[in-house]
Amino acid sequence: MKYTILAVDDESDMLKTFESILRKKYHLLSAQSAEEALQKIEKENIDLVLLDIRMPKMDGIELLKIIKKNAQTLDVIMVSASKDLSSAIEAMKIGALDYIPKPFEVKELLAIIEKALEKRALVRENLYLKEVLAQASSYCDLLGNSPLMKKVFETIDTVAKTDSRILVTGESGTGKELVARAIHNKSPRAEKPFIVINCAAIPDNLLESELFGYERGAFTGALERKLGKFELADEGTIFLDEIGCMSMSMQAKLLRVIQDAVIDRIGGTTSVAVDIRLVAATNIDFKKAIAEGRFREDLFYRLNVIPIHLPSLRERKEDIPLFLDYFINKFNKELNRCIHGFDQEAVIVLKNYDWPGNVRELQNIVERMATLSSKLFFTKEDVEKALNLSGTKVELPVTLNFNQAVANFEREYLKNILQEAGGNRSKAARMLGIARTTLISKLDVLGLD
């Protein structure tokens, strides 16, 4: 995209000179009076103004005052044949970016223009990054300008004011916990506790005591009373992640908590009232789980008061440049680096990638590149190496159907990742940006040991 420059001069020959010098590299507009210039500034998206000081009716100084009053961020370079520097000094005080006398050297003019436009680009980039950081702060690192994510943000803003139960669905690595945190932070309960429980990470025989607590002497080793997460989250929010992994017996106990707003400590004789906002999340297919008897239908409907579905990264690839800017800024601060970003071809490779680990995988890739590379700018080759796309191509028989081909690709891809991780499944899961349990499940399905 070419920058747009407006040249303002009452002499047509001077405008023709600007045209011959600038037309190849820039989109040039011209005006022979202050009135004509103001009309074009109002209608066009102008990046820079070249403004003659000496003009009839309204001179360049008066026009500069109006420009700076109505469009403060628009840079103006003053141009004049007058040897009187007092006008140039006055223009600089008003807000002109620079001054060049007539006649000028073409190289000098181009250098001044290029410097001015570089400054404008830097200001725009800083404003953009401020907007990204402001959005990340407001939504707990949840980012996106795509229509799908805008809908998610609108839902968060609407439901945060209520106490309605929320069920967040989406693939692993899409940011379901971030949704829960954003809802809590924007709610009237924001000053109260926000408690996270990963149901998949706690064995079923321990989950009950974690959620509901126990009394002293309830079992061997229970030397004193322990409060459960529901009590600790009283008046705040509790987030039950991977709720699809909860056993049927635990689901029944959770259903009672939701219905009666009370919990029973293990070994206790009286119920304890709790006031909590419940947000749950999972990546399972509820219809399938209910049909197979792995999840209670009545609990599903209790949880699914307000559904929020987080799209996968491959469904909103237009958000990838936004994440790249955010992660580069993040890791520059954390690692004391000064990385500038990714070139255009590198971004194309990232957009063409399928992102099985979603945003978490993208963050891991950027962190890995920022940590291991000394480069200030990442290229297509750097990205392909980080994504392991530059290795040996997997040849697949054309006789395979689509599902078989996908399974073969996943099998080879996971083999490569496991090999790179030295067979360590936890490390491989981190590299992929997915939960270890998800990786193990995928390995079982694909028959990989």
- In terms of domains, do 32 and 104 share one? yes
For 87-141, write each residue's pLDDT tens digit.
778 888 888 888 888 888 888 889 999 888 888 877 776 665 666 566 666 787 8
Q: Is pTM beyond 0.75 here?
A: no
Strands 98-101 and 213-214, how do they pair? Answer: unpaired
Tell me which residue range forms the domain holding 82.
4-130
**Quick check: 230 pLDDT over 90?**
yes
**Does the residue 142 lie in any domain?**
no
Give all strands of the β-sheet with 98-101 in edge-to-edge order: 27-31, 4-8, 48-52, 75-80, 98-101
Tokens linked to 42: 């109002």
For 188-226, write each residue's pLDDT tens digit.
999 999 999 999 889 888 999 999 999 998 888 888 889
Relative orientation angle of helices 106-138 and 12-22, to the nearest 10 degrees? 70
Domains of the chain: total:
3
- In terms of domains, do 239 and 190 share one? yes
Contact assessment for residue 278 and residue 163, using Cβ atoms and an 8 Å cutoff = no
**Quick check: 391 pLDDT over 70?**
no
Single residue among 265, 296, 311 that ends a domain in this structure: 311
**Quick check: 176 pLDDT over 90?**
yes
Tokens linked to 175: 């940011």
**Does the residue 194 lie in any domain?**
yes
Contact assessment for residue 155 and residue 308, using Cβ atoms and an 8 Å cutoff = yes
- At 222 the three-state DSSP class reads coil
For 347-374, write each residue's pLDDT tens digit.
999 999 999 999 999 999 999 999 988 8
Q: What is the CATH number of the domain that holds 48?
A: 3.40.50.2300
Helix ranges (DSSP H) in 163-319: 176-185, 204-212, 229-232, 248-260, 286-291, 297-303
**Does the residue 413 lie in any domain?**
yes
Question: Once rounded to an integer, what is the mean pLDDT over residues 151-169?
Answer: 95
- In terms of domains, do 430 and 351 share one? yes
Residue 289 is which amino acid? A
Determine what percent of the chain is predicted with pLDDT higher than 90. 47
**Quick check: 400 pLDDT over 60?**
no
Cα 311 from Cα 319, distance rounded (Å)? 11
Single residue among 265, 283, 311 that ends a domain in this structure: 311
**Torsion angle, CA of 32/35/37/39, rounded to 10 degrees?**
-130
